[in-house]
Amino acid sequence: MALQLGRALGRGARRSASVSGLVVLVLSVLYQLAFLGAVNTAVVNLLPDGVRPTDAGAIGFSLPISTEMAGVLAVASLLFGTGVFVVAARLLARDPTTLGSLPTDAFTRRIGRALLSALVVNLVLAVAIPLGLALFVIPGLFLAVSFQFAVFAIAVEDAGPVGALKRSWALASGDRWRLLVLVLLLAVVGGVSGAVGSLFSLADPLVGQLLSLALTSVVLVLMYGILADAFLQLREEPVFGTGGGSPGTADVGAL
């Protein structure tokens, strides 16, 4: 099935505005608060005593913990953020009529395996995509477009890392130009939200950081919803929650 961009944007936005989308938004805010707090704390703790800011707002909010604990919190928050993406994929890649429910299995079903697979995929892409972007940009964009559904394959179809990359590649085949438009559009929206936060940071770093965090979280949830709808459009199997499915495929709508 060819990807319909207008449908993905419209229905994706409605998915994001659902109860499931609101839960994903809260989880995304918590993840970013923890990560940003850990980074700010490490920066403040590592400053020489002579230049330590007298006002914590000069850098942003920080936490009363050691540098070592800040490092642990940063790693833990990144793991939590990966888990949020997995849960977001499960919650939002369902039939629209089910998005008002919060099935327990979406948070617990094979979550350890899914988290490990998502981490492996993210590490691979964290190396491959920047390297591709450095090689005249186009290879990096090609990889970003081709593998953007990998975590959805892990979360929704219980694929392993290699299977998820193959599945995403297959789903993107034939629609890469449309997907490129989608990726660039989401990047522009994300860039604008970041720029707004940066402007406010000039007046008050703390307010700017918190505003940027809030806007980024909204954009993330919107991105999850749009990608979820695009993923469902391109799948060969019936949409989750419609009573269809195929052998070995998790019926997320029934979670």
Q: How confident is the model at residue 188, as a pLDDT? A: 85
pLDDT tens digits along 32-77: 999 988 988 888 888 776 655 554 456 777 888 999 999 999 999 9
Burial of residue 137, with CB atoms counted within 10 A of its CB: 0-12 exposed, 13-18 middle, 19 or more buried:
exposed
Which residues does the chain have with pLDDT short of 50? 55-56, 237-255
What tokens does 173 get?
Answer: 């085949």
Token reading at 21:
């989308």
Q: Where are the domains of the chain?
A: 5-235
How far apart are the C-alpha atoms of 62 and 44, rounded to whole Å? 8
- pLDDT at residue 34 in the model: 92
Scanning the structure block, which residue is given the tokens 């999850």? 224
- Structural contact between residues 152 and 93, judged by C-beta atoms closer than 8 angstroms: yes
